[in-house]
């Protein structure tokens, strides 16, 4: 699907997307589909962003001590639409966390001998 063929989720305008891209970076705003059932036949679309260094730092700080708080930090910071609806249902919340965790900006280093 080409970029201009993407249908925006309900309640999201092109102006909102432009503002998020301006604020977070053009390549940092993404569309995610969260399954409403176990088969993935019904989904809701949400807008998420790639976590930044600050959010990753807070997430990692709580990851060992309080994993639930760590997940809340990422979802609160990186889920841009339908936040209350997603947070109200455990399955949607965990799906949102999964979507955001897939966006963690980790690149594999290439190691060479000197």
Classify residue 110: in a domain, yes or no.
Answer: no
Residue-averaged pLDDT of the chain: 92
Closest CA to 13 of 44, 49, 47: 47
Cα 77 from Cα 86, distance rounded (Å): 13
Classify residue 95: in a domain, yes or no.
Answer: yes
> pTM of the predicted model, to two decimals?
0.86
- Overall number of domains in the chain: 1
Classify residue 113: in a domain, yes or no.
Answer: no
Domain with 79 in it: what CATH number?
3.30.2220.10
Token readout for 95 is: 């799906």
Classify residue 53: in a domain, yes or no.
Answer: yes
The 10s digit of each residue's pLDDT in 7-35 is 888 889 999 999 999 999 999 999 999 99
What is the span of the domain harbouring residue 20?
11-101
Token readout for 86 is: 């997603």
Classify residue 111: in a domain, yes or no.
Answer: no
Is 54's pLDDT higher than 60?
A: yes
């Amino acid at each position: 699907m080409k970029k201009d063929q993407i249908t925006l989720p309900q309640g999201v305008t092109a102006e909102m997307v432009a503002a998020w891209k301006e604020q977070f970076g053009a390549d940092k705003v993404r569309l995610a589909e969260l399954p409403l059932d176990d088969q993935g036949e019904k989904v809701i679309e949400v807008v998420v962003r790639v976590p930044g260094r600050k959010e990753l730092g807070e997430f990692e700080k709580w990851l060992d001590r309080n994993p639930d708080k760590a997940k809340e930090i990422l979802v609160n910071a990186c889920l841009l639409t339908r936040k209350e609806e997603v947070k109200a249902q455990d399955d949607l919340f965990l799906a949102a966390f999964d979507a955001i965790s897939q966006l963690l900006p980790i690149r594999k280093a290439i190691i060479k001998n000197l």
